[in-house]
């Protein structure tokens, strides 16, 4: 129980930093205002995201809010059950939970998520193509979509979880006696 409570401190820190930065940005900047921090590579750009991740529009935003609340409760419950797991597994879940709660708070109390971290990204261009009988439209990305601390925590948490899953060895199965050994 104590390990579960200690890991929730990380969740609380993520939520606190996320909310403090969002309050600062929303009170000190005008919507869509942008400031260069490192030239055009890193900027602070205040936007409000009514969609889901990366501003993807969703017809029923209320559904996503309810889903995010249920997912946050499920992650918290799971964190309490993970007390015997390795630190990286619990850390990844704590980061995901902190990010989910931070963005959920925005959706519940503001109606949209405050995003402000605006980072240059190498250009990605995928030309339109057809596979079998399906036509796929092209895609181009010149800048990463504007994000926040909660989004970064979720992303880092997911990457850590992915690394944990890939590197974790399954528990060894007890050796079974072969058929020949059982006869003797």
With residue 166 as reference, give the H or E element that holds it: helix 149-167
Collapsed DSSP state (helix, strand, coil) of residue 148: coil
pLDDT score of 183 more than 60: no
State mean pLDDT over 128-146.
Answer: 84
Predicted confidence band of residue 93 (pLDDT cuts 50, 70, 90)? very high
> What is the percent of the chain with per-residue pLDDT over 70, rounded to a whole number?
85
* Domain count within the chain: 1
Residue 71 CA neighbour count, 13 Å, CB half: 17
The reply to whether 8 falls in a domain is yes
CB neighbour class for 99 (10 Å; exposed up to 12, middle 13-18, buried from 19):
buried
At 12 the pLDDT is 97
Within a domain: 45? yes
Q: Is residue 13 part of a domain?
A: yes
- Which range among 47-56, 103-112, 131-140, 157-166 shows the weakest confidence by mean pLDDT? 47-56
Question: Looking at 3-150, which runs of residues are DSSP E strands?
Answer: 34-38, 42-49, 113-126, 129-131, 134-136, 139-143
In this structure, is residue 60 part of a structural domain?
yes
Please name which of 68, 65, 66, 52 lies closest in space to residue 145, comparing C-alpha atoms. 52
DSSP 8-state code for residue 33: -
Residue-level pLDDT at 1: 57
Catalytic residues: 115, 151
Residue 36 pLDDT grade (very low, low, confident, very high; cuts 50, 70, 90):
very high
Residue 92 lies in a domain: yes
Q: How far apart are CA 142 and CA 140, in angstroms?
A: 7
In a domain, 183, yes or no: no
- Distance of alpha carbon 144 from the chain centroid: 15
Residue 117 maps to a domain: yes
Look at residue 56 and tell me if it is in a domain: yes
Whole-prediction pTM: 0.81
Q: Please state the φ and ψ torsions of residue 60, each to the nearest 5 degrees.
A: -120, 85
Segments forming the whole domain that contains residue 82? 2-168
């Amino acid at each position: 129980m104590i390990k579960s409570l200690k890991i929730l401190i990380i969740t609380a820190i993520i939520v606190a930093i996320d909310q403090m930065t969002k309050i600062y940005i929303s009170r000190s900047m005008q919507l869509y205002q942008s400031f260069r921090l490192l030239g055009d590579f890193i900027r602070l750009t205040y936007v409000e995201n009514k969609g889901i991740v990366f501003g993807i529009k969703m017809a029923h935003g209320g559904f996503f809010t309810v889903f995010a609340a249920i997912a946050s409760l499920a992650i918290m419950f799971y964190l309490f059950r993970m007390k015997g797991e390795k630190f990286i597994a619990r850390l990844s879940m704590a980061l995901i939970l902190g990010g989910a709660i931070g963005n959920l708070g925005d959706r519940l109390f503001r109606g949209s998520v405050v995003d402000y971290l605006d980072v240059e990204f190498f250009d990605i261009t995928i030309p339109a193509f057809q596979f079998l009988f399906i036509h796929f439209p092209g895609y181009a990305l010149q800048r990463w979509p504007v994000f926040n601390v909660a989004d970064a925590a979720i992303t880092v948490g997911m990457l850590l979880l992915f690394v944990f899953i890939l590197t974790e060895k399954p528990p060894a199965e007890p050796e079974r006696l072969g058929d020949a050994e059982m006869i003797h």
